[in-house]
Amino acid sequence: MINVTIIEDDEDIRKSLAILVNGTAGFECINCYSDCESAIAEIESDPPDVILMDIGLPGMSGIEGMRIIKNKLPEIDILILTVHEDNQRVFEALCAGACGYLIKDTQPGKLLDAIQEVRCGGAPMSSKIARMVVNSFKINPHEELTNRETEVLSQLCKGKSYKMIADTLFISEETVRRHIKNIYKKLQVGSKSEAVAKALKERLVST
């Protein structure tokens, strides 16, 4: 038996979800909330296995609410159920600890599968979301950088100093300095830490 709690502000959707969950053997909806604040207040006294959660809620956002809930009860699996498929929200949700991310037009059967799946150690995602997530790993070399510059940038991302890079690449420290100056110009940054931050965030080099 999987105990489910629903957090969703739209009453129609909330009720439909509850009916779907309660109408299926092996699933039970033990609580419904229309906002995070009330969910947070009560959740510890009656913790579910899985939370189905909207993001666009009145008051505290689902993302923020998720952080708080995950902090209190880390073992709960939280499944996001929303209309938002924009990069920022998806990745914010995952960073905050969501275990899955479904868009609202998911078929009822698939939704139940997803709840099952998340309990079995999976991470159900809608197709488009899964592709976004997978694509976010892909290396994206900056096309202005030359091969040598990319090599140097990669060394920078290991936290190396000019001197260490020079020794690794068998060139003089001055040449390293030159490459780094060019990298800064092309990436429009002005320091090692800025360059490393940009390179890692935008996956300009293979880690």
Our CA dihedral for 155, 159, 163, 169, rounded to 10 degrees, sits at -20
Q: Contact with a second copy (CB under 8 A): which of 25, 105, 107, 138?
A: 138
135 lies in the site for DNA, by CB under 7 A: no
Least distance from C-beta 170 to DNA, angstroms? 8
CB of 4 or CB of 157, closer to a second copy: 157
Q: Output Rg (C-alpha) for the chain, integer angstroms.
A: 23
Contact between 54 and 7 (Cβ < 8 Å): yes
Q: How is residue 71 written in tokens?
A: 């902090």
Q: Which stretch binds a second copy (CB under 8 A): 17-25, 26-34, 35-43, 117-125?
A: 117-125
The item of DNA, a second copy, none sharing an interface with residue 174, based on CB under 5 to 8 Å by kind, is DNA
Site string for DNA, 94-133 (x = CB under 7 A): ----------------------------------------
Contact between 124 and 130 (Cβ < 8 Å): no
Q: Contact with DNA (CB under 7 A): which of 71, 135, 140, 191?
A: 191
175 lies in the site for DNA, by CB under 7 A: yes
Kindly list the strands in the beta sheet with 100-103, ordered across the sheet, starting from the edge strand earlier in the chain.
Answer: 27-33, 2-7, 50-53, 77-82, 100-103
Q: Contact with DNA (CB under 7 A): which of 45, 88, 127, 147?
A: 147
Q: Contact with a second copy (CB under 8 A): which of 22, 130, 146, 174?
A: 130
| DSSP-derived 3-state class of residue 162 | helix
The secondary structure of residue 28, as a DSSP letter, is E
Least distance from C-beta 152 to a second copy, angstroms? 12
Q: What angle do CA 38, 39, 42 make, to 5 degrees?
A: 85
CA neighbor of 104 nearest in space, from 56, 167, 165, 142:
56
Q: Which stretch binds a second copy (CB under 8 A): 6-14, 26-34, 39-47, 97-105?
A: 97-105
Is 12 exposed, middle or buried (CB count within 10 Å of its CB: 0-12, 13-18, 19+)? exposed
Amino acid at 175: T
Site string for DNA, 154-173 (x = CB under 7 A): -------xxx-----x-xxx
Per CB under 8 A, residues contacting a second copy are 91, 94-100, 117, 120-125, 127-128, 130-131, 133-135, 137-139, 156-161, 189, 191-198, 200-201, 203, 206-207
